[in-house]
Structure 1
Amino acid sequence: MGRLLLLALIILAAVLMWRAFGPGSAQRYGTQRGVQESQKPVIKGPDDDEEFLWNIEKNRFKERRAREEAERKRREDEERRRRRGELD
C-alpha cells in the first residue's frame, strides 16, 4: 500500500511540474519570457537608478578637481609672492 501511495505522489508531482513549467505554460498564465526579459527594471528609488548614481559620482569628481585646481593656484600665487619678496 505504501509503494502505491509513493508511486501516485511521484506521478502527481510530475504532472504538476509539467503543467507549471511545460510547453504552453507561458500562454496559460499570461506571461511571456521574451517580453519580461526585454523590459527595463522598475526603478524604485534613487539608489536603483544607475544614471543618477553616475551623475552623483561625476559631480563629486568635478568638485574635487575644482578644489585641487584652486589649491594648486593658491600655492603658485604664494610661491610667486615669495619669489617677488625675495627679489625685491
Structure 2
Amino acid sequence: MGRLILLALIILAVVLLWKAFGPGSGDRAGAGLNRPAERPEIKGPDDDEEFLWTLEKNRFKERRAREEAERQENERMRRAHERYDAAPAPEPGKESPSADDEADPGTNAEDKGEAGEDHPER
C-alpha cells in the first residue's frame, strides 16, 4: 500500500513540474517581462480610463464653480443686509426721504409747498 501512495505522489510531482517548466511555460511566464504592456482595447466610452477621468474632473470643476458662485452670492447678500441694517431708520411720525428729496438736497419742506401756502385747502 505504501508503494502505491509513493507512486501516486511521484506522478503528481512530475505533472506539476511539467506544467510549471514544460513546453509553453516560457510564453506564459515571460509574457509580462519581454513585451511592453499593451493598452486594453477600448470598446466604449465607459472602458476608456482617460475619458472617465476627464468626466470626473469636469464634474469637480463644475461643482467648485457652483460652490464659488453660491459663496459669492451669500457674501453679496450679507453685505447688502449689513448696508441695509446700518442705514438709519426713519424716526416715528416722519416719512422717509423720497426720491425728490434726494434729487435736490437744496430744497426744504416750505419750498415744496408742504407748509400749505401754495395749496389752499378746498
- TM-score normalised by length of structure 2: 0.50
SS of 1:35's equivalent in the other structure is coil
Task: Identify, as 1 or 2, the structure richer in helix.
Answer: 1
Structure 1 residue 81 displacement after superposition: 2.0
**1:5 equivalent in structure 2:** 8
Within-5 A mapping of 1:77-88: 77-84=80-87, 86=88
Q: Structure 2 unaligned runs (5+)?
A: 91-122
Q: Structure 1 unaligned runs (5+)?
A: none
| Inter-partner Cα distance in structure 1 for 2:16 and 2:66 | 61
Structure 1 residue 67 displacement after superposition: 0.4
**2:70 equivalent in structure 1:** 67
Alpha carbon RMSD of aligned pairs, Å? 3.2
Greater relative contact order, per chain length (Cα 8 Å cut-off, separation 6+): 1
**1:76 equivalent in structure 2:** 79
Equivalences, count: 80
Identity %: 12
Closer, same or farther in 2 for the Cα pair 1:20/1:71, shift >3 Å? farther
Bigger mean CA offset, 49-58 vs 2-11 = 49-58
SS of 1:77's equivalent in the other structure is helix
Closer, same or farther in 2 for the Cα pair 1:35/1:73, shift >3 Å? same
1:39 aligns with 2:39: yes
